[in-house]
Amino acid sequence: TRGFYIGRFQPYHNGHQKVLEQIACSSDEIVIGVGSAQESHTITNPFTAGERVLMLTQSLADLDCPFYVIPIEDIQRNALWVAHVRAMTPPFDTVYSSNPLVVQLFTEAGMTVKSIDMYERLTYSGTAIRQRMLDGEPWEHLVPPAVVNVIKEVHGVERLRQIARTD
């Protein structure tokens, strides 16, 4: 079986990593969608799709399950979104998600959807991590070590602070 998991991964964090390690145990292969791929350099989406591909690929290097990381741009039409995703990805049979809209759209499309538990949601949250970066609080312990390196390489914290300034 090939499993599918999608997120924006702004940034990729330990909650996502736990979920993917769990999915790896019950799938032969995993397809990972990087959503809102066209977005970058904003407060809610600071990192490019390419940077997020790097975060995922390097963090999952030791996963004992083959995986594909596929950027997926938004389309402004939820009714067509499942077809859009499927057009961009290797075929998959099982969708893993805890996002209500993702669950709803794939269920309506007749696909097998498995919901997954949140792992310390208040701590492991993209929003909380971006806020810590802005506030100068420690965030490195909330993401895999490879993500710390990618964010350092692209000067991600400085970028986020710069775009948060007012003119």
Binding footprint of ligand ATP on the chain (CB under 6 A): 7-10, 15-16, 19, 97-99, 118-121, 124-127
Give me the least distance between CB of 130 and ligand ATP, in Å please. 7
Which C-beta is closer to ligand ATP: that of 137 or that of 167? Answer: 137
Give the nearest distance from C-beta 15 to ligand ATP in angstroms: 2
Closer to ligand ATP at the Cβ: 79 or 122?
122
- Bridge partners for 70 per DSSP: 33
DSSP state of 76: S
Place of tokens 């330990």: 14
Cβ pair 73, 37 in contact under 8 A: yes
As a dihedral over the C-alpha atoms of residue 15, residue 17, residue 22, residue 25, rounded to 10 degrees, the angle is 180
Dihedral of the CA atoms 134, 143, 10, 16 (nearest 10)? -150
Smallest distance, ligand ATP to C-beta of residue 34, A: 9
Instruction: Report the sign of the C-alpha dihedral through residues 73, 75, 76, 82, in that order.
Output: negative
Least distance (Å) between residue 147 CB and ligand ATP: 13
Q: Closer to ligand ATP at the Cβ: 127 or 166?
A: 127
In this complex, which beta carbon is closest to ligand ATP, that of residue 44 or of residue 162?
Answer: 44
Which residues are 69's β-sheet partners? 32
* Min separation Cβ 46 and ligand ATP, Å: 10
Complex with ligand ATP: residue 103 or 167, whichever CB lies closer: 103
